[in-house]
Each structure stands twice: as C-alpha cells, then as structure tokens.
Amino acid sequence: MGRTSKFSLQQKLIIINEAKTTSTRKVAKKFSVDAHTIRRWQRIFQYQGIDGLKSVHHNRKYSVEFKRQMVVEFERSMNSLEDFALKHGLNSGWQLSKWIIQYNESKLKAYTPRKRDSIMPGRKTTFEERLSIIEELIKHDINYNWAVDKYHVSYQQVYGWYQKYCKSGNDPQSLRDRRGKAKPKEAWTEVDRLKAENRLLKAQLLRKEMEDAYSKKVMEIRNREANDSSNNKLSKN
C-alpha cells in the first residue's frame, strides 16, 4: 500500500542523527513527532539504509511464494516480528503478521496492485465526504485503491487529499475546499475543528489497536507451533 510522510527524507535523517546524542523524547517534542516513530525510523535505517526511509507512493507486489517464504523463515527465526520484517525489506511487522495469520488460515494470496491512474473518474465531494474518506483510509493502512473502490473517487483525488492532510501536520482543515464549496471560514468553529481532529485521531488509535491485536495473534500462533514441535520431539523420544 502506498505510504507517504509529512517528513521528507532529509528531515528524517536529521531527526535520526539528533536522536543519537539527545534523548528520543526531547527530539520527538522538538520536531512534533511521536517517539515511537523515531525509534522505528532508526530501525528502518539500520536494516534498510536510506532507501528504507524514502516515502513509497505505490503498492508493492508480493507473490504467494514470497509471502510463504517469509512466514516460514520468521517461524524459524528468533527475531521479533518488527525486526524480522524490516530486515527483509517489508514495511512493517503488521504486514508480516497479516501474512502469518492468512497462512495459518489457508487464505494467503498474491497481491497485484493496479495502475495508479485508476480508470475510476474523479467526482465532486463535500468536506464531510473527504473527512470520512481520510478517516477510513487511515483505518485501512493507507490503501488508496481500497478507498477508490469504496467511495467511487479517483486515485489522484484520494492521494492528493491524504498528501495535503500529512503536509499540514494532520490538520483536518486541509481537506476543506478552498473554492468555497465547504463550510464558510466564519462558520468553521473551534468545536468543528476539534470534532474533526478527534475523528481522525480515533482512526489512528483504532489502527494501532488492530496492529497490536495482529501481533498478539501472531505470537500465539508462534508459541503454539513451538509447543507442538516440543511435544512431537518428546513423543518420539
């Protein structure tokens, strides 16, 4: 799934470098970025170098064979989910965890991303629609093609709205139509802004909860397989 960041490659490198000599918490506060994000950038840089820190604007294609190989190798490794994923060039441990669960449920499939210039034409949208689209986009791991199919808008529209949202520092007002089709500026109250911010924040928290749930399920699968392996060895003896 395509991923973007409100921080450029150069900014990420500056933040990572500064975090080497200053506490992560202080650096996070200085640059208005989550400390967990900084630590993740550090691990990505460690395993994938500069290329890993670059924003990805397209979906990557993985075959069933590659996914299966990653699942099998992870189950044999002693690495954490996140470290194993990053060492092997994946976006995150969450991505690998989904493959593991699908593998164990016999639902592992290849994913072939469509061309960015989707045949879906653009259409006029209201501010509320754009807010809802970005809200659901966050919940679905920034999957542009999913949003295109769900809301019948163009890829370029979804990509553009999310880019504006990220570059504004996650300000929901960036989704307003500046040509006067949204709520007039004088009618946009502080309560409106807080409600919109709250919706998008909840979406981010929900995604984090989903990631944690996936990781927990993966560890349960891993522990179960380890126990089964131990029991088999004991029975043979």
Q: Is the dihedral of CA 52, 43, 78, 139 positive or negative?
A: negative
Domain 1-56 has CATH 3.40.109: no
pLDDT of 116: 46
Q: Which residues of the chain have pLDDT under 50?
A: 1-4, 112-118, 180-182
The predicted-structure confidence for 65-97, as pLDDT tens digits, reads as follows 888 888 888 888 888 888 888 888 887 787 888
CA distance 200 to 135: 5
Distances (CA, A) of 22 to 7, 75, 187: 19, 36, 43
The predicted-structure confidence for 150-185, as pLDDT tens digits, reads as follows 888 888 888 889 888 887 878 888 888 765 444 555
pLDDT of 15: 93
Alpha-carbon Rg of the chain, whole angstroms? Answer: 21
CA distance 89 to 51: 10
Would you list the domain boundaries of the chain?
Answer: 1-56, 58-113, 117-237
pTM over 0.85: no
CA distance 57 to 195: 29
